[in-house]
Amino acid sequence: MNRSLHSVREKSLVFIGFMGVGKTTVAQLVAKKLYRDFVDIDHEIEKEYGMPTTEIFKSIGEAKFRTKEKEYVLRYCKQPLKVISLGGGAFMQEDIRKSCLEHSIVFYLDISWDSWKERLHMLVDSRPVLQNRSLEDIETLFNERKSTYEDHNSKLMTDHINEEEVADYIIDSVKLAWELYS
C-alpha cells in the first residue's frame, strides 16, 4: 500500500551516509539548484540547545540527541519540497528509516574506507562518535553502518567526483524519476 503523502515530484529529498562524506554540502547545492528549502537536522538540534553537537553529547547525552534527531527527521521528511541532510547515525533508528523511505526520496552518498580515512583528521574534533575510538573500531562502525545505508532509493559512490558533480548527478536522477513516475 502506498501511504506516501506527496507525489514523487513534491517529495522531499533526504541525504544519508557516513560522517564527513559531504551530505550537508551536496544537499545545500541540490536545494539551491532546485529552489527548495535546505534542512540540516544536526543544525536544527544545535539551534534548539544553543550548543554544538559535541557539547550536546557531553552535557545532555547521546540518548537525548537521538530522541531529538528522530523528532526532527520524522517532522521534516513528511513535509514536501525540502532537501534534508541527516547526521550519519540517524538512519540507524528504524523509525527514521521507515519514515524517510515512505515519505521522501533517500539518496545514499557512499565512499570507500580508503578514501574516508584520509578525512578522519578533519572530522574527529567535531564528531563525538569518532572520539576515543581506535581506527579499527571506526572501520568496524563504518562497515556496520554501510549495510544499513543500503536501504535507500538511490546511491552514488563519491570517491572520485567533487561535490558539485555529485549534486548535478543527483539532480539528473531526480528529474528522471519525476519523468518516469509522475
Q: Contact residues for ligand S3P (CB under 6 A)? A: 19-20, 23, 42, 53, 87-89, 127-129
Largest CA distance in the chain: 48
* 36 in Cβ contact with 107 (< 8 Å): no
Q: How many CB atoms neighbour CB 3 within 10 A?
A: 6
Q: Which is nearer to ligand S3P, 94 or 172 (CB)?
A: 94
Tell me whether strands 37-40 and 82-85 are parallel, antiparallel or unpaired: parallel
Q: Which is nearer to ligand S3P, 96 or 105 (CB)?
A: 96
Q: Which is nearer to ligand S3P, 142 or 178 (CB)?
A: 142
Tell me whether strands 105-110 and 82-85 are parallel, antiparallel or unpaired: unpaired
With CA atoms as reference, report the closest residue to 101 among 153, 175, 33, 35: 153
Supply 129's cell numbers.
562518535
* In the complex, least distance from residue 10 CB atom to ligand S3P, rounded to whole angstroms: 25
* 47 in Cβ contact with 41 (< 8 Å): no
* In the complex, least distance from residue 84 CB atom to ligand S3P, rounded to whole angstroms: 12
Q: Which is nearer to ligand S3P, 53 or 99 (CB)?
A: 53
**Which strands sit side by side in the sheet containing 13-16, from one edge to the other?**
37-40, 82-85, 13-16, 105-110, 154-157
* In the complex, least distance from residue 91 CB atom to ligand S3P, rounded to whole angstroms: 9
* In the complex, least distance from residue 118 CB atom to ligand S3P, rounded to whole angstroms: 16
* In the complex, least distance from residue 135 CB atom to ligand S3P, rounded to whole angstroms: 16
Q: Which is nearer to ligand S3P, 7 or 112 (CB)?
A: 112
Give the CB-nearest residue to ligand S3P: 87
